[in-house]
Structure 1
Amino acid sequence: MRDAHQASTQNPPIPGLVSQLLFTLYAVLTFMVMFGLLRLALLLYNNHLIGDARTGDFLESFFNGARFDIRVALIACAPLLLALLSRKATAARGWQRAWLTLTASLCLFTSLGELDFYKEFHQRLNSLVFQYLQEDMNTVLSMLWNGFPVARYLVAWVLATAALWLLFGVLDRASRTHTTPSSRWYQRSATFVVCLMVAVLAGRGHAEQGPPLRWGDAYTTDSMFANHLGLNGILSLADAASTTFSEHRDNTWDSSLADEDATAIVRDMLLTSNDRLIDEHDAAVRRISEPDAAGTLPVRNVVVILLESFAGRHVGALGSTDNITPHFDSLAKEGLLFNRFFSNGTHTHQGMFATMACFPNLPGFEYLMRTPEGGHAFSGLPQQLSTRGYQDVYVYNGNFQWDNQSGFFSNQGMRNFVGREDFVNPVFMDPTWGVSDQDMFDRGAKELDAFDREKPFYALLQSLSNHTPYALPDPLPVQPVMVDGKEDIHLTAMRYSDWALGRFFEKAKQSPYYKDTLFVVVGDHGFGAPEQLTEMDLFRFNVPLLLIAPGIQEKFGGVSDRVGTQVDIVPTIMARLGGDTQQQCWGRDLLSLPDGDPGTGVIKPSGGEQTVAIVRGDRILVKPKDLEPRLYRYDLRGRQTEKLDDPEAATVLGQQMDAFIHTATQSLLSNKAGARGGSQAVP
């Protein structure tokens, strides 16, 4: 009797059809529970984003999430279903356990990384993952290792993987509780067909006729955080992979407008009384701009300062009481500050080409500088000022190969670059990115002083310290920012960057060129805040734009409420310098808009997501892919929004947004986005 028991223990019963069905069911439930717990972890880890959301919103998000989770669970367990067709495959439980453990482990690994990914970007896993993988891996790995608790996550992942292997072993034994007679082939086949139909219906996510489950089905509450929780990060990443590795032109905007109608709308949006349209049969908005002499300033030089992650939400001059940016706030009193200004994207990459090349962030082309189309002709500051004989310099903390900056900007007409390798004995060198902001600004000040005074110059100074992993000099020249009794390293880095900016201006004011220079200070993008205004998360886009120049306040005042985005910067600069300009910028001079025009801007997040929005005055129309557009009134200082029911306004804004994106995309694809005809970037 004892021998029989030992034999049955050492050689468990060969699983039959019922046992395989039970094991498959247990495995699906295990994946569902794991995804539910990971969703709970994502909620708790980012609990500062809960805001005014109700408990019901999160219960709804967990229900929605289960609909997405079951699709992944069924895909992971598909080999177990296929095993129903073969007795040998059914008996190969060791291989089945190995497959389940490997699949669950990879899902777990991805989801652990998503905890900080969402905290940083307020997005589920998307094409940003693949964009970073295409960059210099030493830099990426250094950023991850120094910026996040990688070792802790790896230990947790290894232990959890071991636990999963043991758990699937327990489930294997539990499913063998009784033996069944060997099933015939037709019984197995019939069972497989029935299970396959059930799996397809469950994975499709819709029991009725209609479209299968889409990411928009998670957007059922008024809380963006809750809606995002309703998604599954594995599916989001798979969809991003499909988009990233397909032909990028396949992911462009699908317009409902005819080309000629879209072009007419865009011309009405962008052309002002100071513009004369040219090449109208060849280019969409190529024009000669003839600014009013009354709007020019007594300046000849231009310095653009692009500040990393300089979020308007934390700028004192824009209403923050956190005392993060005292130096910028002081400078704002000397110039013209735009308090409804937005980045065109949510990544430095988009901030660079929108600000300097005057071209918008478009669906399918979020990483324009790294695509073949990035070699096309544009109409930015390098093109406009190189024709006037300007000297130039681009000063940056890091390596210019990142994001193909040197390739893109040299092709656009910039000639002089000062990057990470050009600094000697810096105050601080971050092993991930490069020198500190104070080093960058110090070198920038020296480069500006070294220019030939007989010729005008323009410069781009780009900061970097306010970026993960926020490696800062020690000791810090500023006090750390404390939030709820703990240091907020991101806000500390922003305060440090502000200090370095103030130090630069102290030096610049002592230089002869200062009185002849227009300074443009702008954030490349913002970052997430607890108040997620609309599906676009507006605080990720809201940045300050500050213009400092002699006589600017006397002519234009100290504050402007007009809406603008980074593509408006070049036209605004060129109009202050004076003289006719042939250009095809996708923005306007913000200081010569028609009376009553509150300003307009089209924005979209990075990461390949086709959600787009158009902002006009205090209204924003948000259009997620595959969903109806939603109109809001927003209040940046009050940090709130109000959903509006105004179909007429929504229709007008929707057509403008559609026309803008469609026409800009077609201009890019046909290589007709430059200031002049032809394919040469540098005139």
Structure 2
Amino acid sequence: MKNYFQSIFLFFKRFLLIVIIYQLCRLLFLFFNKSAFDGVTLKAFLGGLHFDLSAIAYINILFAILHFIPGKFKYKSGYQKGLKIAFFVVNLIFILTNFVDFEYYKFTGRRSSFGMITATGMENEIGGLIFVFLAEFWYLPIIALILAFVFWKTIPNIRLIFSDEKTNSITNLKQIGLFIFLLGIVFLLGRGGFQQKPLKVVDAVNYGSISHSALVLNTPFCILKTIGKKETLESPKFYSDEELNAIFNPVLTLNPKEEKLNKNVVILILESFGRENLQIGQTPFLDSLLTKSLFFENGFANGKLSIDAVPSTLSSIPSLMNNSLITSSYSINEIYGLPKILKDNGYYTAFFHGAFNGSQNFDQYCKVAGFDAYYGKNEYVGPEAFDGNWGIFDEEFFQYYCHKMTEFKQPFFTSIFSISSHNPYTIPEKYKGKFPKGNSKIQESIAYSDFALRKFFDSAQQQEWYKNTLFVITADHTSAEPTAEKFKTNVGKFRIPILFFNPGEPTFGGISYRNTQQIDIMPSILKYLNINTKMISFGKPYQSEKDFVVYYLDNIYHYLEGDYYMAFDGKKAIGLYNFKEDELLKKNELETNKEIKDKMERFIKAYVQSFNERIINNKLTVH
């Protein structure tokens, strides 16, 4: 039995080594993202240990079997060498996934899932971009190599007591009993304990503030929980159908009395133009345009990824899942968004994106959404302007966009998604040193994209369709590394500019302080155009008195209503703050403001149930 015990001890010594490495990875994650985590307590690290044990147990269950299984074959040199190499390789792969989030977390605000690690929707770009990212974040491969070397050198080896140890039936029964018992312990660690359901990503909120969930989690755990899984929603069944529709009903009927306006509609979605980048000297053109537009000071994105912004903005469908709608199992659900509605009203519709065709699956979504045409890098005609990474520089692609619209029959609806202010923030060589660097890595490229936007409007003003066009400008999401504290909270990290510019109506404009979101853009446009239609919209027109915003991050629903922000874990409220008075979300009023808490909790439950049921049952249209 002594050799058998040595094999057991060997596994747990190796297991302990992995636990220590995971703690080191958490410290490195905190170091690289220290500005995102204030007031970290020991509880977050204890919670992190809980999730680490679960991930490590799942990853090493096969090695547990190979160490615990009875039999003398385990003590052969070849077996042990193979076991050690396999243990090293498998665990190192999972350990290194943490390194992705040392920097990627700045962009997504959450730990990476299986889909994000495998670059779903970015298959065309990833080959070239991976070398760009390795060059930019050169220190990560170096740290990884050092860690791999230390890991290999510190893996414990087996020490056999008797090479010819005898066994009998009693010994074999004891070993079988230990095998079952110890394997049960590893399974228990993997599921996270004796609780009713196995440990889930959302359980991270139990170990500190909502904003610390990513620190509590580890990337291997998040990958394991999403690998091979399609997005599957469930209805929480909070309310009956009658109660549900009384609280929140996404069916929106527009029956205007005024005559329809046959104005062109142009939606410009600007990459990473978070609200923090405006009015600080980086965006002189956009800043000037704000003064001539209807500008929503409290504008919010409905997601943290570019791929979330398109269905939110063009179809009024928020990103309330762990996967984007575009890449989820519900991606081919029938939808009735702006392209189809305006097409039914005589519009020609087209979508433009200067990146590789297939990037972010936008071309696929455009087919589902009903656009007449998609224009990407493949269709671009103009001066050579490939940025070496993503696609065509904004300046040239915006000009191409402008000239193509001149060819379209009016009225038309088009949308463009810019690319130059995306990491690695490349700007044309001829403009190096022309724009202010700002106070974060992105801001020089933000200034370049603002310049490209100015040149687009200079060209557009010369076109006969210009004054008959409603321009809507928004961002896909916020920037990776905001410097101001108010943009680091779960409210601030979703603040984006949203503005409506109407050059044909000089009196159209002003500042609105109503809470407005990307999913409000579609119903707002249709109401402004006096379009007679019936549709599903999870947002509301800006002309409405409603004042809510809903978005989702780290398995938490984030809901704004009036002056208040609520965090909801899918079953109950876990935080309530007056975000307009308490910008840094320091004072949780969940226990002291029951009236607001009950009212908001009632609405968000109905909103989530309505969203889930309509996505599950493919009821995003009104027949």
Question: Which bin holds the TM-score, normalised by the shorter protein?
Answer: 0.7 to 0.9
Greater Cα shift, 74-83 or 506-515: 74-83
- The offset of 1:159, in angstroms, is 5.2
**Structure with larger Rg:** 1
Residue 611 of structure 2 aligns to which amino acid in structure 1? A
1:644 counterpart residue number:
589
1:611 aligns with 2:556: yes
1:548 is the counterpart of 2:525: no
Classify the secondary structure of the residue corresponding to 1:421.
coil
Q: 2:80 aligns with which of 87, 90, 93?
A: 93
Q: Which residue in the other structure is 1:519 paired with?
A: 471
Residue type of the partner of 2:268? Answer: I
Map residues 68-217 of structure 1 onto 2, 5 A cutoff: 68-78=51-61, 79-80=63-64, 82-84=66-68, 85-91=70-76, 92-129=79-116, 132-149=118-135, 153-154=140-141, 156-158=143-145, 160-168=147-155, 171-172=156-157, 175-176=159-160, 182=166, 184-206=171-193, 213-217=199-203
Change in 2 beyond 3 A, CA 1:261/1:534: farther
1:227 correspondence with 2:174: no
Q: Who is 1:381 aligned against?
A: 338
8 Å CA contact 1:437–1:465 kept in 2: the answer is yes
- Cα 1:203–1:36 change in 2 (3 A) is same
How far apart are residue 352 of structure 1 and its match?
Answer: 0.9
Residue 635 and residue 493 in structure 1: after superposition, are their counterparts in 2 closer, same or farther (change >3 A)?
A: farther
The match for 1:666 is: 613
Residues 548 and 252 from structure 1, CA distance in 2 versus in 1: closer, same or farther, beyond 3 angstroms? same
Measured in 1, the distance between the counterparts of 2:350 and 2:190 equals 55
Q: Which residue is 2:402 aligned to? A: 445
Deviation at 1:63, TM superposition (A): 1.8
Unaligned runs of 5+ in 1: 1-13, 271-284, 317-321, 678-683
Relative to structure 1, is the Cα distance of residues 350 and 193 closer, same or farther in structure 2, using a 3 angstrom cutoff?
Answer: closer
The reply on whether 1:358 has 2:319 as its aligned counterpart is no
Give the CA RMSD over aligned residues.
3.2
In the alignment, does 2:567 pair up with 1:622? Answer: yes
C-alpha spacing 1:631/1:112, structure 2 compared with 1 (3 Å)? same
**Deviation of the 1:16 alpha carbon:** 1.0
Q: Which amino acid aligns with 1:256?
A: F
Residue in 1 that maps onto 2:222? 236
Instruction: Classify 1:215/1:387 alpha carbon distance in 2 versus 1 (closer, same or farther; 3 Å).
Output: closer
Q: Is the counterpart of residue 62 in structure 1 residue 20 in structure 2?
A: no
Q: What SS does structure 2 have at the residue aligned with 1:489?
A: coil
What is the distance in 2 between the residues matched to 1:636 and 1:415? 46
Counterpart mapping for 1:404-419 below 5 A: 404-419=361-376
Equivalent of residue 516 in structure 2, options 539, 564, 569: 564
CA distance 1:289–1:351, change in 2 (3 Å): farther
Look up the equivalent residue of 1:631 and give its one-letter code: L
Contact 1:17–1:180 (CA<8 Å) still a contact in 2? no
The answer as to 2:601 corresponding to 1:654 is yes
Cα deviations by residue, 1:591-627 (Å, 9 ceiling, x for unpaired): 2x24xx4x1122124xxx5422222122122212566
- 2:281 match: 323
Amino acid at match of 2:371: M
Question: Is contact 1:427–1:473 with CA below 8 Å preserved after alignment?
Answer: no
Task: Please say if 1:428 is aligned against 2:385.
Answer: yes
CA contact (8 A) 2:352 2:415 kept: yes
Tell me which of 32, 35, 42 is aligned to 1:45: 32
Q: Which amino acid aligns with 1:340?
A: N
Distance 1:621 1:199 in 2: 37
- Residue from 410, 414, 418 that aligns with 1:463: 418
Deviations 1:542-594 (A, max 9, x none): 21111111476746x51001112222112211222235334333322212x24
Kept in 1: contact 2:51–2:218 (CA 8 A) = yes
One-letter code of the match for 1:88?
F
Residues 424, 167 of structure 1: alpha-carbon distance in 2 compared, 3 angstrom cutoff:
same
Report the AA paired with residue 302 of structure 2.
N
- Alignment length (residue pairs): 611
Partners of 1:425 and 1:474 lie apart in 2 by: 18
CA offsets 1:486-517 (integer angstroms, 9 cap, x no match)? xx332222222122112222332343333222
What per-residue deviation string (whole Å, max 9, x for no partner) do you get for residues 162-194 of structure 1?
Answer: 4433322xx216x45898965622332344345
CA contact (8 A) 1:360 1:567 kept: yes
Query: Distance between the aligned counterparts of 1:209 and 1:360, measured in 2?
Result: 32
Shift of 1:233: 1.6
Q: Which amino acid in structure 1 is aligned with residue 413 of structure 2? A: Y
Distance 1:44 1:136, change over 3 A: closer
Does residue 451 of structure 2 align to residue 499 of structure 1? yes
Asked if residue 344 in structure 1 is aligned to residue 302 in structure 2, the reply is yes
In 2, Cα distance between equivalents of 1:372 and 1:38: 32
Tell whether the 8 Å contact from 1:426 to 1:439 is kept in structure 2 after alignment.
yes
In structure 1, the residue corresponding to 2:131 is in which secondary structure? helix
